[in-house]
Structure formats: structure tokens, C-alpha cells
Amino acid sequence: MRPLATRMQRLGTETAFEVLAKARALEAKGKHVIHLEVGEPDFDTPKSVSDAGIAAIRDGYTHYTPSAGIPELRAAIATHVRRTRGVPAEASDVIVTPGAKPIMFYAILALLDEGDEAIVPDPGFPIYASMVQFVGARVVPLPLREENEFGFDTAELERLVTPRTKLLILNSPHNPTGGIIDTRQSREIARIAQERDLWVLSDEIYSELLYEGEFVSPWAQPGMRERTILLDGFSKTFAMTGWRLGYGVFPRPLLDGVTKLVTNSVSCTATFTQRAGVEALERRPHEVAEMRRQFAARRERIIAGLNEIDGITCAWPKGAFYAFPNVKQLGLRSAELNERLLNEAGVACLAGTAFGPQGEGYLRLSYANSLENIEEALRRIGRWVAEHGPVRAR
């Protein structure tokens, strides 16, 4: 048998799905596991949105749509991003996709040639680096350190830019750390991107899940609209992960090419899903605010609880729904600790290194889970650490 294309060896993955599979295998053997590994809201999709989707199926919205999406949804998205970011955007700038992930895929495919460089947050969502490598470009990690509240160091970012750098990927609020890009950093990004002629992919999927500070979009800085791809979607804000609905707002030169990539890959996003999206944006269901309130309460509990465990310290995430505790004092590598917590304590979470080398010494716990499960997970981790750690001497 002839081998697969060499690019397949460069394709990474999202460890969350691997840990989930391991956890499910343990459950099949009778072990009880608390799931803090996958980043998806545990809430149901708001009823009005589900009803709109069901009505759309009944009304015959079950055929292909234009590749870039239905005009009503593109218009609703343009209105939404204008309102939330204060930047002019037209329906024709929007491309709707099955989830927000394909926006990464398409933007990277459309922009990077072999040998180009892309600056990617480290730690950061693993798909960025995976896709950059897949297309044969080089990943240049931008360290996000706890001492900078998981923001980046401007001088360090400037040093990483070379004549081959074509793309800068940003994510605020940030997965896995919960850090945000503030106004000062946003201005610095705009200056560097314009001086060094970079494209920017601004992943703002958690823009509505913010508990401290103010949401600032690098897209909204003067001069950035023309060089920034804004990525956002419905999975997190509206608890719609399984519907698969996301979008990008693109600078004009990318629109035709990315629309063709949609035509070449998925043709379009499911029609009834798009109709449900119109309902979500135009009549914003009351459950959205309630979900955010519950995430805020869970955040309080999990961060306080982690900080009560000897050997663990946890910074307060400003947004998203992840805790990123520092576990360095426990003396184990993140991957080993992650494995042992799953097998011995029955708590599934992710090693910080699933998000890049800078994640060593951290774990990622998703608090998109009930307060009762969070309490139980904290008890289990606390008990495990009391029995096995802190093992500072190792």
C-alpha cells in the first residue's frame, strides 16, 4: 500500500477528544468520572432557538444555500458585529461556516504558503498550530506567561516577526488561560501588524463570556479591519456546539477565495441551522444572560476551591469558561498529573501542554459543568493531592 500524503504527519489534533475517549472507556468499566475536559456549555440550546430550527426543517429549509450563507443570517451577523465592536461591516463581508473552526482552516489555507511563518499563542487552541503545520508553514510560538496575566510581551512579539511572518493569530478571551487582550495590547497589535504588514486572525469565540474587564477587539483598531479576519460563532454563547454554526468577517481580498473553499469542502452550512442562528441573533434568548451568570458563579467556586488546595494556585480567568491552575509545586509533569487524576481520582481534565510547551506546569479544567460536579471534582482533586502531593522534592 502506498503511504499517505506526508502532510498528514504534520496534522495535530485536539487532545480533549482523546481524553474524553479515555474517560468514556473508564466509565464503561464502571468508574465514575467527572468531565472537566471538553469545552462545551452543559446547558441546552435555548428553546426559542431550537424551535426556530425545528420549524425551519418543517417549513422545508432543507436544501443547499449559497456557500457564504443565507442573506438574512449574514445581515444579522453584520449588525451584531457592528453593534458589539463598533466597526462598519456589511453582510457581504460575512462567511457562515459549520462551526467557527472551519474559519481557521480556511483562513490558514488561503493565506499561508510553505515556508511562511505564523505567530501563534502558546499556550493556545491546538488547531492553530496543527493547521499552520499542515499547510507546510512554520509555527512561531508567542509565549503567554502567568506573570503577565497570560498576556504577551510586546517586545517579545516584535522580536518574533521576521520577513517571512505573514499571519498573527490572537484569541481573546483566551482558551485555555482566560486571559484577555486589553486596549493597550490591542493598540500594540495594530501598530505591529501595520508596520510589519501582517494578516491577523482574531478568534473572539468567547467574546460574550467575560467576567472582569472590558472586551476589546483588535479588529476594531484603526486600520485593522482591512487586515483582520474576525472569527466568532454560536457554539459557546448560545450553547449550540452540536448545531455547527460559526462565521468569519473577512477583509475583501479574502472573500472570493474563502467562499470557494467553502464550495469545495462543505458546499454550505445546514440551512435550518442558519435559520436558528437568525433567531438567536435577532431575538437574543433570555437564557444567554442566565448561562453567563451561572458560568460566573462556577468560576467563583472553582478558582476559590483550587486555591484552597495545598500545592495548587490558580489565577482568576477574566473570560471563557476554563480554569488554568499552576500545579508546578506538585512536582509532576502536567501530562502525568492529568493521567493520574483521571485514573486515580476520576477527574478528567487536560494537561496544559495540550495547548503548547508553555502549558507545562498547568492543567486546564473546564467549568462548563454543574456546581455539584465542580464541588465533587474539587473534593476528589483535594483528596488526591493530600495523599500524593505536594511532592516538591522530586
Distance CA(179)–CA(194), nearest Å, equals 24
User: Does 175 contact ligand PLP by CB under 6 A?
Assistant: yes
Total binding residues toward ligand PLP, as defined by CB under 6 A: 13
Distance CA(219)–CA(249), nearest Å, equals 10
* Mutual angle of helices 271-282 and 71-85, in 10-degree steps: 40
What's the grid cell of residue 310? 495545598
CB of 277 to ligand PLP, least distance (A): 11
The DSSP bridge partners found for residue 141 are 120
Kindly tell me the sign of the dihedral angle through the C-alpha atoms of 236, 108, 135, 117.
negative
CA angle 33, 309, 344 (to 5 degrees): 30
H helix runs in the chain, sequence order: 15-28, 47-58, 71-85, 101-111, 126-134, 154-160, 183-195, 252-265, 271-282, 287-307, 334-340, 371-388
Instruction: Specify whether the backbone of 99 is left (phi greater than 0), alpha (psi in -120 to 50) or beta.
Output: left
Q: Of the two residues 235 and 294, which places its CB atom closer to ligand PLP in the complex?
A: 235
CB of 229 to ligand PLP, least distance (A): 13
Contact between residue 292 and residue 209 where contact means Cβ atoms under 8 Å apart: yes
Q: Of the two residues 101 and 225, which places its CB atom closer to ligand PLP in the complex?
A: 101
Give the CB-nearest residue to ligand PLP.
Answer: 99
Q: Of the two residues 33 and 354, which places its CB atom closer to ligand PLP in the complex?
A: 354
Q: Of the two residues 210 and 345, which places its CB atom closer to ligand PLP in the complex?
A: 210
Residue 364, classed as helix, strand or coil, is strand
CB of 208 to ligand PLP, least distance (A): 13
Q: Of the two residues 39 and 311, which places its CB atom closer to ligand PLP in the complex?
A: 39
x/- map, 273-312, ligand PLP, by CB under 6 A: ----------------------------------------
User: Does 269 contact ligand PLP by CB under 6 A?
Assistant: no
Interface of this chain with ligand PLP, residues 6 to 45, rule: CB under 6 A = 39
Q: Of the two residues 179 and 246, which places its CB atom closer to ligand PLP in the complex?
A: 246
Q: Of the two residues 39 and 389, which places its CB atom closer to ligand PLP in the complex?
A: 39
User: Does 171 contact ligand PLP by CB under 6 A?
Assistant: yes
Interface of this chain with ligand PLP, residues 86 to 145, rule: CB under 6 A = 99-101, 125
Q: Of the two residues 235 and 274, which places its CB atom closer to ligand PLP in the complex?
A: 235
257: number of Cβ within 10 Å: 13
Distances from the Cα of 42 to the Cα of 19, 241, 366, angstroms: 17, 10, 10
Distance CA(158)–CA(168), nearest Å, equals 11
Report the relative pairing of strands 363-366 and 350-351 from DSSP bridges.
Answer: antiparallel
CB of 173 to ligand PLP, least distance (A): 9
CB of 215 to ligand PLP, least distance (A): 15
Distance CA(104)–CA(200), nearest Å, equals 11
Q: Of the two residues 327 and 350, which places its CB atom closer to ligand PLP in the complex?
A: 350
CB of 70 to ligand PLP, least distance (A): 18
What's the grid cell of residue 84? 458589539
x/- map, 221-260, ligand PLP, by CB under 6 A: ------------x-x-----x----x--------------
CB of 203 to ligand PLP, least distance (A): 5
User: Does 325 contact ligand PLP by CB under 6 A?
Assistant: no
Residue 188, classed as helix, strand or coil, is helix
Q: Of the two residues 100 and 144, which places its CB atom closer to ligand PLP in the complex?
A: 100
CB of 193 to ligand PLP, least distance (A): 20
- Judged by the rule CB under 6 A, the positions of this chain that interact with ligand PLP are 39, 99-101, 125, 171, 175, 203, 205, 233, 235, 241, 246
